């Protein structure tokens, strides 16, 4: 490629995916070191535009439940315990399933958007909502009979009873989440993230007011708190839906309700099921750490110390989940557009950025180790137990800066079924047994359980690194075209380039 062709590429504002892929294909380097620096800046700008808003959405959606639990804590210790265990054991279970199923929307819609097959995206989103609502009907029984389930996993009758009150009030939220989650992924797949962020922040502020009125002013108690959380999620869902229907930004991707959403469900269901299993195995693994710790001899101290660390970890997880969503969108968009080399470059940039961020977070945790625990408790035993977990928290935060990003790449590429097998093996066949042996048999307590989890996450991260490094991105482009053609179920949909 001559100098006349290279010169426009040196201006970041004029760079395009097609032009960059052409330079990669030519193999001439695009104009030296200066061009590569500008290219990294171009990719980083897109990544942060996507991830910044995605992080806001992830964090503020999480904060809805966080605020509800804060207000619940002012009712009584028993009601807080019931709400907390229901949030982890019941709501967390459903959250994992719904979030996992919705990752299929990121894969297929993201690739459709990259391929400029916009009309297929609305049908895919509707098909996802149909499957999510079906899953919600099944999960409703889990919520309704949560008392029995919570007692079966070792909780006391009094805590389980309060947990059931809280869980039953969240049944409406389950259906709101079933509709909202696919819609959010539908918008993220076409790089519409700022409106989602504004809506999430606005609903969060409204939720604080509504919860204060329900719990503190009107005195509706635990059930009032959970019903208010459900109401806030429905407000969030309605606003997301109105944006999709009314915004000019979605006029090409949303063409109205269609009966085609009920056709070709089985091919789409297979990738949805794999997505659900993949993310459920990850989310439940972290939640299982808390549940298992409650079975230790000194359960109160163990639960207090690990809960404090998990609060910091959850903040980090929600930050990284927004970054992971951006990675998924970038990979799926470029695969759908038929840009294998740019896809590979995007993977390198997002992982390098994430490793840098996780290193900074890890250093902060190590430096402020005692202050982090004291911010939550003044009890000497809790501070001592929590401080002993800080090194493990630091390791987990560092790995958490790599592993979810690789999972996001897997979602964007449509590898959910492969990662599901990896998660099952590394987490539950290797990591969990090691943690139980260290924690119960060797007497290491909660530290031993956490070490087992670290081993599982480390093995999973190494496996995903190897899988990503050995990927043939040209082949992934062909797979993306085939996957979208089957999922969209349109005879005229021709995705493979001439």
> Is 374 inside a domain boundary?
yes
Does residue 196 contact residue 59 with C-beta atoms inside 8 Å?
A: no
| 301 and 251, same domain (yes or no) | no
Percent of the chain predicted with pLDDT > 70: 78
Residue whose C-alpha is closest to residue 278's, from 236, 328, 244: 328
| 213 and 301, same domain (yes or no) | no
Residues in contact with 380: Cβ distance below 8 Å, sequence separation at least 6, in sequence order: none
> Is 334 inside a domain boundary?
yes
Q: At what angle do helices 340-367 and 403-413 cross, to 10 degrees?
A: 160
Q: Does residue 62 have a pLDDT over 90?
A: no
| 418 and 475, same domain (yes or no) | yes
Does residue 67 contact residue 147 with C-beta atoms inside 8 Å?
A: no
Give the CA count within 13 Å in the CB-facing half-sphere of 375.
11
Lowest mean pLDDT among 200-209, 324-333, 406-415: 406-415
Lowest mean pLDDT among 22-26, 426-430, 458-462: 22-26
Strands (DSSP E) along 308-437, which ranges?
none
Q: Which two tokens stand for residue 483?
A: 């996957």
Domain membership of residue 305 as a residue range = 296-488
d(CA 387, CA 394): 11
Does residue 365 contact residue 145 with C-beta atoms inside 8 Å?
A: no
| 325 and 216, same domain (yes or no) | no
Residues in contact with 141: Cβ distance below 8 Å, sequence separation at least 6, in sequence order: none
Q: At what angle do helices 403-413 and 416-423 cross, to 10 degrees?
A: 140
> Is 4 inside a domain boundary?
no
Does residue 456 contact residue 285 with C-beta atoms inside 8 Å?
A: yes
Q: Which two tokens stand for residue 276?
A: 């659900």
| 168 and 221, same domain (yes or no) | yes
Say what the pLDDT of residue 3 is: 42
| 302 and 243, same domain (yes or no) | no
Number of domains in the chain: 2
Question: What integer best gives the mean pLDDT of the chain?
Answer: 77
Does residue 105 contact residue 182 with C-beta atoms inside 8 Å?
A: yes
| 223 and 360, same domain (yes or no) | no
> Is 3 inside a domain boundary?
no
| 192 and 117, same domain (yes or no) | yes
CB atoms within 10 A of CB 315: 16
Say what the pLDDT of residue 494 is: 36
Strands (DSSP E) along 146-227, which ranges?
none
**pLDDT tens per residue, range 208-265:** 999 999 988 888 888 999 999 999 999 999 999 999 989 888 888 887 777 776 776 6
| 305 and 178, same domain (yes or no) | no
Lowest mean pLDDT among 237-251, 284-298, 352-366, 427-441: 284-298
| 313 and 164, same domain (yes or no) | no
Say what the pLDDT of residue 169 is: 92
Boundary-marking domain end, from 241, 262, 283: 262
**pLDDT tens per residue, range 10-23:** 455 556 777 777 77
> Is 468 inside a domain boundary?
yes
Q: Which two tokens stand for residue 318?
A: 């929600």
Boundary-marking domain end, from 216, 247, 262: 262
**pLDDT tens per residue, range 288-327:** 666 666 666 665 566 666 766 776 777 777 777 777 777 7
Boundary-marking domain end, from 262, 284, 318: 262
Lowest mean pLDDT among 30-34, 88-92, 337-341: 30-34
Give the CA count within 13 Å in the CB-facing half-sphere of 190.
26
Q: Does residue 495 have a pLDDT over 60?
A: no
> Is 359 inside a domain boundary?
yes
H-run or E-run covering 346:
helix 340-367
Question: DSSP H helical segments within 73-154, as ranges?
Answer: 77-86, 92-114, 119-144, 146-152
**pLDDT tens per residue, range 258-286:** 777 677 666 667 666 766 676 666 666 66
d(CA 251, CA 244): 8
> Is 283 inside a domain boundary?
no
Give the CA count within 13 Å in the CB-facing half-sphere of 70.
12
Q: Does residue 473 have a pLDDT over 90?
A: no
> Is 470 inside a domain boundary?
yes
Maximum mean pLDDT: which of 130-139, 146-155, 460-469: 130-139
Radius of gyration of the chain (CA): 23
| 377 and 459, same domain (yes or no) | yes
| 375 and 449, same domain (yes or no) | yes
């Amino acid at each position: 490629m001559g100098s006349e062709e290279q010169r426009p590429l040196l201006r970041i504002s004029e760079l395009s995916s097609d032009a960059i892929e052409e330079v990669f294909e030519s193999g001439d380097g695009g104009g030296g070191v200066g061009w590569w620096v500008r290219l990294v800046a171009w990719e980083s700008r897109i990544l942060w535009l996507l991830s910044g808003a995605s992080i806001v959405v992830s964090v503020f959606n999480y904060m809805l439940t966080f605020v509800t639990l804060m207000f619940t804590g002012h009712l009584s210790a028993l009601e807080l315990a019931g709400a907390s265990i229901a949030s982890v054991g019941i709501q967390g279970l459903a959250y994992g399933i719904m979030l996992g199923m919705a990752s299929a929307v990121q894969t297929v819609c993201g690739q459709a958007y990259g391929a400029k097959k916009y009309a297929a995206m609305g049908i895919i989103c509707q098909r996802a909502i149909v499957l999510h609502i079906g899953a919600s009907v099944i999960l409703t029984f889990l919520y309704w009979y949560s008392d029995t389930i919570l007692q079966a996993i070792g909780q006391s009758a009094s805590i389980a009873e309060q947990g059931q009150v809280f869980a039953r009030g969240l049944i409406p939220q389950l259906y709101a989440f079933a509709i909202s989650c696919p819609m959010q992924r539908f918008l993220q797949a076409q790089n519409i993230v700022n409106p989602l962020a504004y809506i999430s922040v606005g609903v969060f502020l409204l939720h604080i007011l509504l919860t204060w009125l329900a719990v503190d002013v009107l005195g509706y108690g635990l059930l009032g708190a959970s019903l208010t959380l459900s109401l806030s999620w429905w407000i969030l869902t309605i606003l997301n839906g109105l944006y999709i229907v009314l915004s000019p930004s979605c006029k090409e991707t949303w063409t109205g309700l269609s009966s085609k959403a009920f056709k070709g469900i089985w091919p789409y269901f297979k990738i949805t099921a794999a997505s659900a299993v993949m993310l459920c195995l990850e989310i439940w693994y972290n939640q299982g750490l808390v549940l298992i710790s409650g079975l230790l001899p000194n359960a109160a101290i163990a639960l207090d110390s690990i809960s404090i660390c998990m609060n910091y970890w959850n903040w980090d997880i929600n930050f990284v989940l927004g970054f992971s969503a951006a990675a998924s969108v970038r990979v799926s968009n470029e695969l759908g557009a038929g840009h294998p080399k740019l896809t590979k470059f995007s993977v390198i940039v997002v992982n390098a950025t994430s490793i840098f961020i996780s290193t900074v977070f890890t250093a902060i945790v190590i430096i402020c180790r005692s202050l982090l625990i004291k911010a939550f408790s003044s009890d000497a035993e809790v501070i001592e137990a929590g401080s002993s977990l800080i090194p493990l928290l630091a390791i987990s935060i560092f790995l958490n800066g790599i592993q979810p990003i690789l999972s996001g790449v897997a979602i964007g590429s449509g590898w959910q079924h492969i990662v599901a097998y990896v998660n099952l093996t590394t987490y539950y066949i290797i990591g969990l047994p090691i943690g139980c042996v260290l924690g119960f048999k060797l007497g290491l307590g909660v530290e031993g359980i956490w070490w087992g989890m670290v081993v599982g996450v480390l093995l999973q991260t190494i496996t995903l690194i190897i899988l990503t490094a050995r990927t043939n991105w040209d082949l992934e482009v062909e797979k993306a075209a085939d996957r979208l053609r089957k999922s969209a179920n349109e005879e005229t949909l021709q995705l493979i380039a001439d």
